A and B are shown apart, each in its own frame.
Chain A
């Protein structure tokens, strides 16, 4: 792609992502309502789709209040961090052959770098708010996200072993014969759970559990600063879904009657909906259950997965193939 085409693609992708995140709030409420036998927001426009725009206008016009006791610069930076890191994360997601902003040879590590940095958003927000609930919420988040990041990384080692590369386009190409969710089913399950905890979506939204922490780390946030946290959460959900599709479900691969990008978007939409359904279906665990489950169950399972995958690859492939 030429520089102009690349810039155009980046701008289009940014707008598409922001619009999708805004629309997703409406989709979430409609789907939740549908599963719970309600109507949901159905008044503004066809099927209530204009509700998303109304919400955006409302949140932009809300008073943007900074608590007098807050640490102002950190308080202002914190919500931007999560939105920026999540948007940057999309730079390495291949939408279709050749349709990727940065085809890095360490793309997968870049994804982890971005999810790792997004932790700061929550921790700094909670600390800068100078509020007990915020502080407790961000303490929980820091512990939860660091823990689940470990399994997120470990769960993908199997995929990397099979594909022999950190480059996402290589990983998709390696799935031409068989999508990786078959040989790496354990990795998929661990990654999926870790991704929920990383984006702190329900049921793993202990950092903002309203029944005990008001709204957790974003208790003191209002207006578009709160909107950025919201945006970051939805972007994170879409990014995790896109990564699940890329790593385990063949990315853009699919029967040729639809173009590759449509396959990619369809699969991603499916996993986004699965995220939403989990929210409707599952209760929240206790915090110690969440952490205990992570360290006592997911960690051994992820490590076992690496050992077994590595052993099978070494046993079945010739040394030259493994070494490449």
Chain B
């Protein structure tokens, strides 16, 4: 079990480093998914299968898919790859790296002096998590749901404004004759917008 833990940990760290250093956004997201899966494996080994599954369903299965979705809509090309490459210059990552190194040194120091306490306890099942959430931590759950509700209302409002704009843009785009093959990226964008513009006017 310990070996598996270290393997998962190593994969998670390597994948996360690769996520940061990739210049292609899609490749970075692919590594991020691998990293999340490895973290889920770590959770599983530490006796938290419920957290492990939520990690995959919520993060890998939903949130990162939305990232991928956004990257596909943005139609990033060579320009953004160049930009990313410039962002990865040493004078930009040196400062954060020193801070992280200090944190790492601190962590290693703490691990080397004190005993780590008891090894991971008994597995925490789904029912135990639920009992805690809706018992002592009920207030936190309610606050989080209120935050989500606020986010939902905000997204609805912003989405409505955008909907009207895209509808205008699409109708003007439809009037223009489409030049064959000349400007493929822009056409993808326009078509994608028209594909989703239908969403709002469902009935």
Interface residues of A (CB under 8 A from B): 71, 73-74, 77, 104-106, 109-110, 112-113, 115-117, 119-120, 123-124, 126-128, 132, 135-136, 138-140, 142-143, 145-146, 149, 153, 166, 286-289, 291-292, 296
Contacts and interface: CB of A to CB of B under 8 A. Distances in A.
A113 B56 contact: yes
The 9 closest A-B pairs by CB, nearest first: A116-B61, A292-B202, A109-B53, A288-B198, A113-B56, A142-B69, A106-B49, A106-B53, A123-B68
Residue among A126, A139, A146, A291 facing the most chain B CB atoms (10 A cut-off): A139
Interface string B44-78: 00000110111011001110011011011100000
Nearest to A110: B53
B125 interface: yes
A183 B46 CA distance: 37
Contacts of A292: 199, 202-203
Interface string B88-119: 00000000000000000000000000000000
22 contacts: A71-B26, A105-B125, A105-B126, A106-B50, A106-B125, A106-B126, A113-B40, A116-B56, A116-B65, A119-B65, A123-B68, A123-B72, A132-B191, A135-B72, A136-B188, A136-B191, A139-B72, A139-B196, A142-B72, A145-B65, A287-B195, A288-B198
A139 B197 CA distance: 13
Contacts of A112: 53, 57, 61
Nearest to A164: B127
Given A120-B68, A146-B66, A113 B191 contact: no
Contact of B49 (A105, A120, A142): A105
B175 to A, nearest CB: 21
B30 interface: yes
A306 B192 CA distance: 35
Given A106-B53, A124-B30, A142-B72, A286 B62 contact: no
A3 B115 CA distance: 36
Main secondary structure of the interface of A (DSSP, over half): helix
A146 B62 contact: yes
A56 B131 CA distance: 51
Given A112-B61, A135-B188, A292-B202, 13 more contacts: A73-B27, A74-B27, A109-B50, A109-B53, A113-B53, A123-B69, A124-B68, A127-B71, A142-B68, A146-B62, A146-B69, A287-B195, A292-B203
A120 B33 contact: yes
B201 interface: yes
A126 B192 CA distance: 13
Nearest to A160: B126
Contacts of A135: 72, 188, 192
What range describes how many residues of B lie at the interface?
A: 35 or more
A143 B195 CA distance: 11
Nearest to A112: B57
Contacts of B191: 132, 136
Contacts of A126: 72
A127 B62 contact: no
Contacts of A146: 62, 65-66, 69
Contacts of A289: 202
A116 B202 contact: no
B56 to A, nearest CB: 4
Contacts of B125: 105-106
Contacts of B52: 106
B68 A136 contact: no
Contact of A109 (B57, B71, B72): B57
B153 to A, nearest CB: 15
B49 A286 contact: no
Contacts of A77: 30
A289 B202 CA distance: 6
B187 A166 contact: no
Interface string B106-150: 000000000000000000011000000000000000000000000
